[in-house]
C-alpha cells in the first residue's frame, strides 16, 4: 500500500496540482524534411533540402528542451517532416527522457532500426509511438507516399516495434490510392497488439503551412474528401453519433470576435529553425517568437497571451464565424485561415461546408440552413442531447 | 526484501527526480521501473525530506537521526517513516540498496 508516494498518470498531474504548469507540452518539429513525398502533405521538404543547414543544431535543441523542463513541462512531442531523419534523434530522445519528460514521436516508421526499437524498449517514451499509414499494400502506400519501396520499410519498422514490445498507435489518411485499403487497415488494427484499435483517418487535408507551393495546394484541394464523403467516413464508427452528441453538448456555441478559442498559445510549438509558434501550422511571421533572441518563457508569458486576445476584423468572419454555433464542430481557426488565405480571420469555405454537413447529419440544422442564422441553437442542442441513446 | 536501518540506499539511475514548483516527482526512465511507463510518482513532505538524504553514503539510521533532530520528532517514528519509504521505493526498483 502506498503511503509516502502517490502514483498517477502524467496527464493527471496538472489536475492533482490544481493548476497547470506554464508549459504542459512542447511540440518540436525536428525537421521539415521527409523521406516521403506524400501527395497530400502540407509540410514536407525533400530529404536533402538545403533547409537542413538552417535547422536547429543539437546543442540548441537541448537548450530548448531544458527550458521546457524548467517550466514544468511533462511531455515533448517530436514531429516533422520525418523526425527520424535527424542523425541526433536517439541522443535527443534520451536527453529529453533523462530530464523526466515523456516523449511522443510522430513518424512514418520507415527509419525505425533495430537499435532504435531497442532504445524505445529499454527507455519507453511514456506514450505510444504514433505511426502514419499511407496504404496497406506496396502499390497504394508507395503511390500515396511518393516513394517506391516505402511500404516495405514501413512494415519493417512496425514489425521491429512489435518485436521489441514497444507500444504504438496507427493512423491513416484517406487518399485516392489507398481508399480501397480501409477495410484491410481496420482489420489489421484488430489483429495488432496496438494501443488503440480504433481507426483514425485524416481526410480534410491542410494546405501548405508555409504557403510555399500554390501548385501543390491545388493538388491537395483535389484530394480532400467532399463534406458528404467526410461524414460517411466518420459515420463508419458505430459510436460517432453518440460521441458527437456528447461533444456538441459541451463544446458548440458561437465563439464571438475573439479568434483564439482553441488551446493555441497555452502551450508552444517550435519549428525546425527555432521559432516558437502558438500551434504547429500557425506560421504567420507576426505570431512567432525567435528563440535565438527570446526564451520559451517570454513567449508563453508575454507574446502568446497578447496574441490570444486578437479579435477578428474580417467582415465575413464577423458576419458568419463569430455568430456560428457550429464552432467546435468546425475546424475554422487562425491557423487554418492562415494556410488557406494568409490571414488569421478569413472563413475557410471547405471547413464551413464540412461542419454544415456534419450538423445536418446530426440533426442540428436542416438542408439549406446556415448555422450562423440559427437563433434557437441552444434548443436544438438540447433536443439533440435528449435524443441521446434513442 | 527486508530493509534494516544499516542499509545504504540511493536513487536508481533508472528514475528521474524532478522538482516542479516545490513538488518532488519521480519519473521512471527505464522499462520495468514502477508499474507502467506512463506513471509518475509524487511524494508527500515526509517522503521528500527523506528522498533528499538517500545519497548512497548515509545509512537509513543516519538519515533518521538527522530528520529526528531537524524536525524535533521522536526517533522511533522517523525510523518507521524512513524504512517505510525506502521499502516502498525499493519494491518499485526506484531505489538501489548498496
How many CB atoms sit inside 10 A of residue A378's CB?
12
pLDDT at A3: 66
Residues of chain A contacting B, Cβ within 8 Å: 2-10, 13, 16-17, 21, 69, 72, 74, 97-102, 121-127, 167
What is residue B92's DSSP assignment? T
Q: How far is CA A280 from CA A135, A208, A377, in A?
A: 25, 12, 32
Q: Do A99 and B34 touch (CB under 8 A)?
A: no
Q: At what angle do helices A89-98 and A58-70 cross, to 10 degrees?
A: 20
Q: Do B46 and A4 touch (CB under 8 A)?
A: yes
Q: Which helix (H) or strand (E) holds A70?
A: helix A58-70
Long-range interactions of A259-264: CB distance < 8 A, separation 24+ = A259/A310, A259/A311, A259/A312, A259/A333, A259/A334, A259/A344, A259/A345, A260/A307, A260/A308, A260/A309, A260/A310, A260/A333, A260/A334, A261/A327, A262/A333, A264/A304, A264/A308, A264/A333, A264/A334, A264/A335
Q: What is the mean pLDDT of residues A303-321?
A: 98
Q: Per-residue pLDDT tens for A151-188? A: 999 999 999 999 999 999 999 999 999 999 999 999 99
Q: Per-residue pLDDT tens for A72-108? A: 999 999 999 999 999 999 999 999 999 999 999 999 9
Substitution target in B13, B19, B22, B27 with the highest count of A β-carbons within 10 Å is B27
Does residue A389 have a pLDDT over 60? no
Tell me if chain A has a CB within 8 Å of the CB of B34. yes
Q: Do B18 and A69 touch (CB under 8 A)?
A: yes
User: Of the candidates A7, A21, A125, which has its C-beta nearest B20's C-beta?
Assistant: A21
Which residues in chain B touch residue A123, judged by CB atoms under 8 angstroms apart?
29-31
Q: What is the mean pLDDT of residues A109-130?
A: 97
Tell me if chain A has a CB within 8 Å of the CB of B57. no
Substitution target in A1, A5, A98 with the highest count of B β-carbons within 10 Å is A5
Backbone conformation region of residue B88, classed left if phi is above 0, alpha if psi is from -120 to 50, else beta: alpha
Give the pLDDT band of residue A198 (cuts 50, 70, 90).
confident
Give the pLDDT band of residue A1 (cuts 50, 70, 90).
very low
- CA distance to partner chain B, nearest, from residue A373 (Å): 46
Q: How far separated are the first and last CA of chain A, in Å rounded?
A: 44
Q: Per-residue pLDDT tens for A133-146? A: 999 999 999 999 99
User: Of the candidates B16, B42, B81, which has its C-beta nearest A98's C-beta?
Assistant: B16
Q: Per-residue pLDDT tens for A260-297? A: 989 999 999 999 999 999 999 999 999 999 999 999 99
Tell me if chain A has a CB within 8 Å of the CB of B19. no
Q: Please give the mean pLDDT across all residues of chain A.
A: 95
Count of CB pairs separated by less than 8 Å, A with B: 81
Highest mean pLDDT among A22-36, B43-57, B70-84: A22-36
A-chain residue closest to B35, CA distance: A7
Name the one residue in this structure whose C-alpha cell is 439549406.
A368
For residue A215, what is its C-alpha cell?
501548385
pLDDT at B95: 94
The yes/no answer to whether this complex scores an ipTM above 0.90 is yes
pLDDT at A2: 44
Indicate the range of A335-339, A366-370, B14-18, B44-48 predicted with least confidence.
B44-48
Q: Per-residue pLDDT tens for A356-371? A: 999 999 999 999 999 9
Q: Do B20 and A98 touch (CB under 8 A)?
A: no
Does residue A390 have a pLDDT over 60? no
Q: Do A4 and B17 touch (CB under 8 A)?
A: no
Q: What is the mean pLDDT of residues B8-32?
A: 94
Q: What is the mean pLDDT of residues A210-232?
A: 97
- CA distance to partner chain B, nearest, from residue A61 (Å): 20
Reduce the secondary structure of A294-335 to three states and give it as a string: CCHHHHHHHHHHHHHCCECCCHHHHHCHHHCCCECCECCCHH
pLDDT at A21: 86
Q: Do A6 and B50 touch (CB under 8 A)?
A: no
Does residue B7 have a pLDDT over 50? yes
Q: Do A9 and B39 touch (CB under 8 A)?
A: yes
pTM (two decimals): 0.94
B-chain residue closest to A118, CA distance: B31
What percentage of chain A carries pLDDT values higher than 90? 88
- CA distance to partner chain A, nearest, from residue B32 (Å): 9
Give the pLDDT band of residue A388 (cuts 50, 70, 90).
low
Tell me if chain A has a CB within 8 Å of the CB of B25. yes
Amino acid at each position: 500500500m502506498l503511503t509516502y508516494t502517490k502514483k498517477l498518470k502524467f496527464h493527471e498531474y496538472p489536475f492533482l496540482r490544481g493548476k497547470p504548469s506554464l508549459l504542459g507540452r512542447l511540440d518540436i518539429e525536428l525537421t521539415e524534411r521527409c523521406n516521403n513525398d506524400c501527395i497530400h502533405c502540407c509540410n514536407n521538404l525533400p530529404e536533402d533540402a538545403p533547409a537542413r543547414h538552417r535547422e536547429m543544431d543539437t546543442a540548441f535543441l537541448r537548450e530548448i528542451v531544458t527550458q521546457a523542463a524548467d517550466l514544468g513541462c511533462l511531455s515533448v512531442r517530436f514531429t516533422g517532416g520525418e523526425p527520424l531523419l535527424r542523425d541526433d534523434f536517439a541522443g535527443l530522445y534520451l536527453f529529453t527522457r533523462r530530464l523526466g519528460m515523456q516523449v511522443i514521436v510522430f513518424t512514418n516508421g520507415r527509419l525505425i532500426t533495430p537499435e532504435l526499437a531497442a532504445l524505445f524498449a529499454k527507455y519507453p517514451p511514456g506514450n505510444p509511438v504514433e505511426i502514419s499509414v499511407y496504404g496497406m499494400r506496396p502499390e497504394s502506400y508507395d503511390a500515396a507516399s511518393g516513394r517506391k519501396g516505402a511500404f516495405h520499410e514501413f512494415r519493417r519498422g512496425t514489425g521491429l516495434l512489435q518485436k521489441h514490445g514497444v507500444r504504438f498507435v496507427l493512423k491513416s489518411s484517406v487518399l485516392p490510392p489507398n481508399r480501397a485499403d480501409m477495410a484491410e487497415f481496420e482489420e489489421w488494427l484488430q489483429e495488432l497488439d496496438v494501443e488503440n484499435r480504433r481507426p483514425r483517418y485524416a481526410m480534410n487535408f491542410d494546405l501548405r503551412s508555409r504557403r510555399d507551393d500554390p501548385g501543390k495546394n491545388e493538388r491537395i484541394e483535389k484530394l480532400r474528401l467532399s463534406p458528404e464523403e467526410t461524414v460517411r467516413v466518420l459515420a463508419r464508427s458505430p459510436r460517432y453519433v453518440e460521441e458527437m452528441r456528447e461533444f456538441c453538448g459541451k463544446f458548440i456555441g458561437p465563439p464571438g470576435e475573439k479568434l483564439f478559442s482553441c488551446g493555441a498559445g497555452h502551450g508552444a510549438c517550435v519549428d525546425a529553425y527555432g521559432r516558437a509558434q502558438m500551434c504547429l501550422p500557425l506560421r504567420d511571421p507576426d505570431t512567432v517568437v525567435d528563440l535565438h533572441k527570446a526564451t520559451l518563457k517570454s513567449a508563453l508569458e508575454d507574446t502568446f497571451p497578447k496574441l490570444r486576445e486578437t479579435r477578428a476584423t474580417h467582415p465575413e468572419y464577423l458576419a458568419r464565424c463569430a455568430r456560428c454555433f457550429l464552432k467546435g464542430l468546425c475546424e475554422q481557426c487562425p491557423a487554418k485561415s492562415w494556410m488557406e488565405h494568409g490571414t488569421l480571420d478569413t472563413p475557410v469555405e471547405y471547413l464551413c461546408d464540412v461542419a454544415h454537413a456534419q450538423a445536418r447529419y446530426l440533426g442540428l440544422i436542416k438542408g439549406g440552413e446556415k448555422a450562423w442564422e440559427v437563433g434557437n441553437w441552444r434548443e436544438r442542442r438540447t433536443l439533440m442531447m435528449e435524443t441521446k441513446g434513442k | 526484501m527486508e530493509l534494516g536501518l544499516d542499509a545504504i540506499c540511493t536513487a536508481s539511475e533508472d528514475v528521474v527526480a524532478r522538482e516542479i514548483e516545490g513538488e518532488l516527482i519521480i519519473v521512471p526512465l527505464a522499462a520495468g521501473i514502477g508499474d507502467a511507463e506512463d506513471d509518475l510518482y509524487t511524494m508527500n513532505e515526509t517522503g521528500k525530506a527523506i528522498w533528499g538524504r538517500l545519497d548512497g553514503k548515509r545509512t537509513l539510521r543516519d538519515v533518521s537521526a538527522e530528520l529526528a533532530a531537524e524536525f524535533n520528532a521522536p526517533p522511533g517514528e522517523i525510523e518507521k517513516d524512513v524504512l517505510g519509504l525506502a521499502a516502498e521505493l525499493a519494491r518499485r526498483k526506484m531505489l538501489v540498496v548498496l
